[in-house]
Copies of this chain bind each other. A is one copy, B any other.
């Protein structure tokens, strides 16, 4: 994520640095974010069916909408293709992006296709998604308070692994739009901060901690794990596209059909287990040891 300008105009209510930016248009608020899928980096189009590449380009962006407790409005896509990509594959890519976007209420309203100069140059899909705040308003990354519990939806780890006949989960996850909205509506003011898990719980919890000026303690033995995954997988693998959130008080065990698990707590910056440096902004208790986790996880090549 690109760092914010020092002086954004007043219409920009929330600049770069959260899951989405927020702009005021008259009395309404518009959310916007951009994300990209790069061949050789996020997907391998030699292996992955092109329709799943298109699906992922859209769902990654919609996961940001879920993290803000927003509702999608529309999407725009820019695609750079290598020469020789083929008209049929290009059509399959766009058809998948359009169908996925419409399925989740974000019709494609704009698109640009450019050709690379060389046949070896990789496919790049960038997707901008526009959204509106849900009925309960926007939920940011900052705002967690000392004593809040850290929760996650679903199970974590192993998103890159093939699961029997199924393609790996990072290609077929459902963005947690309904869960994000339901959490905001059910918890109201008790929902203090939220993020989606793309880089891995370690790094993404680090973003929550940093934005809130706090530290996070996670209990390894409470992490909800996908079959065959370890606590390290849950923290490091990334691309779970589940929601992690800070809340006070009781939270239902499931919401919008998705399980919710308490996995840790927010503590003051100078307190709790482990050291005081940046990688200890998130620590995991494994047996009786504290393991620094804020730099565990998958950095999307940035």
The interface of chain A, by Cβ under 8 A from chain B, is 1-2, 5, 8-9, 11-12, 15-16, 20-21, 23, 25-28, 30, 32-36, 38-42, 73-74, 76-78, 80, 94, 98, 102, 107-118, 120-122, 124, 126, 128, 130, 132, 300-302
Contact = CB atoms under 8 A, between A and B. Distances in A.
Give the interface centre of A2, A20, A25, A132 by most chain B CB atoms within 10 Å: A2
Contact of A36 (B35, B114, B117): B114
A22 to B, nearest CB: 8
6 contacts: A1-B110, A1-B112, A38-B116, A39-B117, A110-B128, A124-B124
B78 A35 contact: yes
B74 A23 contact: yes
A2 B77 contact: yes
A108 B5 contact: yes
Given A11-B74, A12-B74, A76-B128, 14 more contacts: A2-B94, A2-B111, A16-B108, A21-B110, A23-B130, A25-B30, A32-B76, A36-B78, A36-B80, A36-B114, A40-B117, A41-B114, A110-B128, A118-B122
Contacts of A130: 23, 30, 32, 130
Contacts of A117: 38-41, 122
Contact of A11 (B21, B73, B98): B73
Contacts of A30: 25, 30, 130
A24 to B, nearest CB: 10
Contact of A8 (B5, B15, B80, B109): B109
Contacts of A74: 11-12, 21, 23, 32
A222 B115 CA distance: 34
A34 B113 contact: no
Contacts of A9: 107
Contacts of A118: 40, 120, 122
A128 B301 contact: no
Given A25-B25, A302-B113, A33 B76 contact: yes
A94 B11 CA distance: 21
B78 A126 contact: yes
Contacts of A113: 2, 302
A16 B302 contact: no
Of A5, A110, A112, most B-chain CB atoms within 10 Å: A110
Nearest to A74: B23
A258 to B, nearest CB: 26
Contacts of A5: 98, 102, 107-108
Given A5-B107, A107-B12, A110-B16, A80 B21 contact: no
